[in-house]
C-alpha cells in the first residue's frame, strides 16, 4: 500500500521585489558606500534570483515608509518579538490561502481531512498554525494536529514522511501538510559572509499537499510516495545553522557547504536510489542556492531538463525554506513533468540530507 499525493498548491504574499531593488534597499538601509555597496550588488547578482516575495512592503518602499527595515534601522534594529508579532499575524493567512487552494484542487470537503501538519521555522506561536487552520477551514473538532518546527529547509520532507506513515496506518485518513515560511522577517545586519548569503537568498511563501492511501473514484493522484530517506553528513553541525538572537532568527551558511554536499551527499543518494537508473529521473532539488543545485548536477552529470524546475523556482521566488521543495513539485505539475519518476533532494541544518522518491500513477 502506497501513500499518494492527491493535491498540491502554493501561495505567495502580495509584495514582490526584483532582486536588484532588494540589494539597493539594503545598501541604503545599512548606509553602505563604494566597495561595500558593490560587494552587496555583486553577491545579489550571483544568486540567480530575479525576484522574491515578502509579507512586508519594505523592500519596495522608501526607507521612510518601511515597517521593520526603515531609516531608523541602524539605531533601532527590530527585536525578535517585533518580528514575531508580524509572523503571528501574517503566517496563518498565507497558510490558509495555500490550504484552501489544495482542498479546492482535491475536490473533497475539508471535513474529510483527518490530520493537519504545519511545518515552519520562521516564527513561534501557540496555538500553532495547524490549530488556526482547523478553525478557519471549518474542520471537525477531532482532527489530529501536529506542528513540525525549526527543521529548516528540509521541513517539507519530514512533513511528507510523517503524513505517509499516518496514511499507511489507516487508509481512510487524509492528511493536510502545510509549509509556511516568512524568512524576510529575519533580515540581519552583518558583514559576515555566512550571514550576508542568507540576506541574499531567503523569501516568503507557503505550500500545501493532501496525502492519503486507497484513492477514491473521485480523487486524482499526482504522485505515489515510494520511499523516503535521511542522512546526517559527518562533521557538519556548524555548517548550516538557524539560531535565535535578540534581533530575530539568524541563518548562517558556511562557504564550503556546496563542496561538502558534492563530496558527501552522493554516497547517501546513491544508496537511497539503489538500482534505480538516475539518468531517467526528474531531480527536484531544493534550490538552497545556485552552488547547491550545481553540486548535485555535477555529481550525477545531470542535464538541465532534469533540474529545470529547481532553477525556475530559485529564479522566480528565491529560497522559501521548507516551502521551496513543494514549489519545485508545483512547477513540475505546471510543466506536465509529473508523469516521470522524481527524486526529491533537500538539505537543512545539521548538515542534514533528506530524500524522497515519487512515482508515477
Evaluate whether residue 6 is within a structural domain: no
What is the spatial distance between Cα 346 and Cα 361, in angstroms, rounded to a whole number?
Answer: 23
Residue 346's CATH number: 3.40.47.10
What is the spatial distance between Cα 357 and Cα 85, in angstroms, rounded to a whole number?
Answer: 37
Question: Is the confidence at residue 222, as pLDDT, over 80?
Answer: yes
Evaluate whether residue 76 is within a structural domain: no
- Residue 267 grid cell: 554516497
Q: How many domains does the chain have?
A: 1
What is the spatial distance between Cα 123 and Cα 183, in angstroms, rounded to a whole number?
Answer: 9
Evaluate whether residue 252 is within a structural domain: yes
What does the pLDDT average to over 234-246? 82
Evaluate whether residue 106 is within a structural domain: no
- Residues 95-135 pLDDT 10s: 999 999 999 999 999 999 999 999 999 999 999 999 999 99
Q: What is the CA radius of gyration of the chain?
A: 20
Evaluate whether residue 247 is within a structural domain: yes
Any idea which residues carry the catalytic annotation? 153
Evaluate whether residue 170 is within a structural domain: no
At 287, phi and psi to the nearest 5? -80, 70
DSSP symbol at 183: G
Question: Is the confidence at residue 252, as pLDDT, over 80?
Answer: no
Note down the domain range covering 310: 223-359
Cα–Cα distances in angstroms (integers) from residue 20 to residues 7, 15, 54, 195, 205, in the given order: 35, 15, 15, 18, 20
- Residues 286-342 pLDDT 10s: 998 899 999 999 999 999 899 999 999 999 999 999 999 999 999 999 987 767 899
- Residues 72-90 pLDDT 10s: 887 888 899 999 999 999 9
Contact (Cβ atoms closer than 8 angstroms) between residue 87 and residue 122: yes
Evaluate whether residue 259 is within a structural domain: yes
CA angle 256/258/263 to nearest 5° reads 95
Amino acid at each position: 500500500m502506497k501513500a499518494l499525493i492527491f493535491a498540491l498548491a502554493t501561495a505567495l504574499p502580495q509584495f514582490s521585489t526584483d532582486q536588484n531593488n532588494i540589494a539597493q534597499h539594503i545598501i541604503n538601509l545599512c548606509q553602505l558606500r563604494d566597495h561595500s555597496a558593490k560587494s552587496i550588488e555583486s553577491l545579489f547578482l550571483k544568486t540567480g534570483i530575479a525576484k522574491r516575495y515578502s509579507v512586508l512592503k519594505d523592500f519596495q518602499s522608501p526607507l521612510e515608509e518601511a515597517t521593520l527595515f526603515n531609516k531608523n534601522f541602524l539605531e533601532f534594529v527590530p527585536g525578535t518579538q517585533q518580528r514575531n508579532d508580524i509572523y503571528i499575524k501574517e503566517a496563518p493567512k498565507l497558510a490558509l490561502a495555500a490550504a484552501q487552494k489544495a482542498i479546492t484542487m482535491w475536490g473533497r470537503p475539508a471535513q474529510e481531512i483527518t490530520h493537519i501538519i504545519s511545518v515552519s521555522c520562521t516564527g513561534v506561536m501557540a496555538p500553532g498554525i495547524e490549530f488556526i487552520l482547523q478553525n478557519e477551514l471549518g474542520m471537525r473538532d477531532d482532527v489530529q494536529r501536529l506542528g513540525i518546527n525549526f527543521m529548516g529547509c528540509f521541513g517539507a520532507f519530514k512533513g511528507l514522511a510523517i503524513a505517509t506513515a499516518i496514511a499507511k496506518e489507516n487508509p481512510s485518513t487524509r492528511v493536510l501538510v502545510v509549509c509556511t515560511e516568512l524568512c524576510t522577517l529575519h533580515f540581519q545586519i552583518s558583514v559576515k559572509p555566512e550571514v550576508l548569503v542568507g540576506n541574499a537568498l531567503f523569501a516568503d511563501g507557503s505550500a500545501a499537499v493532501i496525502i492519503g492511501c486507497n484513492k477514491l473514484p473521485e480523487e486524482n493522484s499526482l504522485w505515489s510516495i515510494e520511499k523516503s530517506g535521511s542522512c546526517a553528513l559527518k562533521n557538519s553541525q556548524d555548517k548550516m545553522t538557524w539560531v535565535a538572537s535578540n534581533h530575530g532568527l539568524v541563518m548562517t551558511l558556511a562557504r564550503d557547504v556546496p563542496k561538502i554536499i558534492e563530496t558527501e551527499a552522493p554516497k547517501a543518494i546513491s544508496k537511497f536510489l539503489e538500482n534505480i537508473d538516475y539518468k531517467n529521473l526528474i531531480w527536484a532539488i531544493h534550490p538552497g542556492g545556485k552552488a547547491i543545485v550545481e553540486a548535485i548536477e555535477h555529481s550525477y552529470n545531470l542535464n538541465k531538463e532534469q533540474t529545470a524546475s529547481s532553477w525556475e523556482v530559485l529564479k522566480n521566488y528565491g529560497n522559501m525554506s521548507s516551502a521551496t521543495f513543494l514549489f519545485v513539485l508545483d512547477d513540475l505539475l505546471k510543466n506536465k513533468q509529473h508523469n516521470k519518476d522524481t527524486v526529491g533532494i533537500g538539505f537543512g541544518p545539521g548538515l542534514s540530507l533528506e530524500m524522497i522518491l515519487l512515482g508515477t500513477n
